[in-house]
């Protein structure tokens, strides 16, 4: 990582705490964080307190950060912060429009001031709590930033990975480590479907991480359930992905075209990961016509393989991202295990 980029990141994400807060012990910092939120750093992270005022109410912000450059490794920087807001100001039971604006505000000033460029963003859910993933590009040396923001009750959770090469196993593992105690869930109805249970399955080599997300389109909301698993195999680092996407009925009108639908699906995959298409072919999946593609991602550093099929109003997709062009036996087993649940 270039030194200037780290200077930028500290200006963007880390704030100098007031002297009265800086004097507090690390134990106080930890004790003030909610016990149902979990984030794992690959090594001991520095901790810091910050504060801000909403009217006459004090909000304490707990920062944790790991600057790899200070350890002689210039590959990445990891940040996490947890802020407890007054429940009457913002809460996960607020209207979704209010939550959406609140989460977007965490990056809007940096975008408006051209500190970063927004490449894309995706709504996600953890235990049905709303959040958003932002993929950003820093000004200057062009470092990549992945920022995840969640609202869990009245706690704002922000995670960030920064790197000149944003595909970093350490960074990805850090982002995926965030989880909420399984006994804590959100039962608020935001007016669109959140897919809690999958209606199809593929056999992952291990237990995957689960996310829910949605995209607002001109025909309505597309809700998705996504499962992710990262593994290190002999051929290199591999990511296994499955996705079930529920489309609104308005998508399937009289002039509906399966080819056009698949074209749009493939275009979405390529655009979301800044990938280029290498190969595309029609395949039969569960007795129905589907598609399979190969793509080049992250400037040729990874290969992506995707197989998908539309059944009813749902698109089922299995994907593998690998640092190698080879497909080994474990990857083949993953694709061939594709099946609907009873």
Domain count, the chain: 2
Asked if 237 and 314 sit in the same domain, the reply is: yes
The answer to the question of residue 301 being in a domain is yes
Per-residue pLDDT, 26: 31
Report if residue 195 sits inside a domain.
no
Task: Check which CATH number belongs to the domain holding 10 and give it.
Answer: 3.40.1000
In 3D space, the residue among 294, 261, 263, 259 whose CA is nearest the CA of residue 280 turns out to be 294
Q: What's the whole-number mean pLDDT along residues 154-177?
A: 78
Same domain, 170 and 130: yes
Q: Could you tell me if residue 9 is left (phi over 0), alpha (psi between -120 and 50 degrees) or otherwise beta?
A: alpha
178: phi then psi, degrees, rounded to nearest 5:
-70, 125
For residue 330, name the pLDDT band (cuts at 50, 70, 90): confident
Same domain, 146 and 243: no
Please give the Cα distance from 338 to 185 (Å, whole number): 29
Inter-residue contact 316 to 308 (CB < 8 Å): yes
The confidence band for 246, taking pLDDT boundaries of 50, 70 and 90, is very high
pLDDT of residue 253 exceeding 60, the answer is: yes
pLDDT value, residue 217: 82
Across-strand partners of 297? 302
Domain limits at 136? 3-180
Same domain membership, residue 169 and residue 68? yes
Same domain, 78 and 8: yes
d(CA 126, CA 196): 10
What is the model's pLDDT at position 9?
27
Average pLDDT on 60-79 reads: 74
Residue 271 lies in a domain: yes
Residue 190 resides in a domain: no
Q: Which two tokens stand for residue 206?
A: 């291990």
Same domain, 48 and 131: yes
The backbone torsions φ and ψ at residue 199, rounded to the nearest 5 degrees and listed phi first, read: -105, 5
Supply the pLDDT for residue 168: 57
The torsion defined by the Cα of 162, 165, 166 and 170, in degrees rounded to 10, comes to -80
Q: Catalogue the long-range contacts made by 89-93 (C-beta closer than 8 Å, 24 or more residues apart).
A: 89/54, 89/57, 89/154, 90/151, 90/154, 90/156, 91/151, 91/153, 91/154, 92/129, 92/130, 92/151, 92/152, 92/153, 92/154, 92/186, 92/188, 93/188
C-alpha to C-alpha distance for 219 and 199, rounded to whole angstroms: 23
Range name among 146-155, 170-179, 195-204, 290-299 with the lowest pLDDT average = 170-179
Alpha-carbon span 322 to 237, nearest angstrom: 6
Same domain for 27 and 167?
yes
On whether both 331 and 204 belong to a single domain, the answer is: yes
34 — phi, psi (to 5°)? -65, 140
Using alpha carbons only, how large is the chain's radius of gyration in Å?
21
């Amino acid at each position: 990582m270039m030194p200037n980029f780290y200077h930028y990141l500290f200006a963007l994400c880390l704030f100098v705490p007031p002297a009265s807060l800086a004097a507090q012990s690390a134990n106080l910092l930890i004790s003030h964080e909610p016990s149902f939120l979990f984030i794992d750093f690959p090594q001991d992270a520095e901790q810091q307190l910050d504060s801000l005022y909403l009217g006459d109410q004090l909000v304490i912000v707990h920062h944790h950060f790991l600057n790899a450059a200070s350890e002689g490794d210039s590959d990445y920087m990891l940040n996490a912060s947890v802020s407890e807001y007054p429940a009457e100001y913002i809460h996960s039971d607020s209207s979704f429009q209010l939550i959406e604006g609140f989460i977007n505000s965490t990056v809007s000033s940096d975008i408006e001031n051209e500190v970063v460029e927004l490449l894309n963003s995706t709504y996600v859910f953890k235990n049905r709590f709303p959040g958003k993933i932002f993929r950003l590009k820093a000004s200057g040396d062009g470092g990549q930033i992945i920022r995840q923001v969640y609202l869990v009750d009245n706690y704002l959770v922000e995670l960030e990975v920064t790197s000149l090469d944003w595909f970093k196993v350490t960074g990805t593992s850090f982002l995926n480590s965030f989880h909420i105690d399984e006994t804590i869930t959100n039962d608020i109805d935001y007016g669109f479907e959140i897919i809690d249970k999958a209606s199809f399955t593929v056999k992952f080599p291990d237990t995957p991480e689960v996310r829910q997300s949605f995209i607002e389109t001109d025909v309505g909301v597309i809700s998705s359930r996504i499962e992710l698993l990262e593994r290190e195999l002999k051929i290199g680092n591999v990511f296994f992905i499955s996705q079930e996407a529920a489309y609104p009925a308005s998508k399937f009108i009289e002039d509906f075209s399966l080819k056009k639908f698949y074209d749009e699906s493939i275009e979405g995959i390529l655009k979301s990961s800044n990938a280029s298409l290498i190969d595309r072919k029609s395949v039969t999946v569960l007795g129905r016509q589907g598609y399979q593609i190969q793509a080049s991602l992250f400037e040729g550093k990874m290969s992506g393989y995707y197989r998908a099929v539309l059944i009813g109003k749902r698109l089922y997709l299995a994907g593998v991202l690998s640092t190698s062009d080879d497909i080994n036996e474990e990857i083949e087993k993953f694709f061939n295990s594709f099946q609907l649940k009873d």
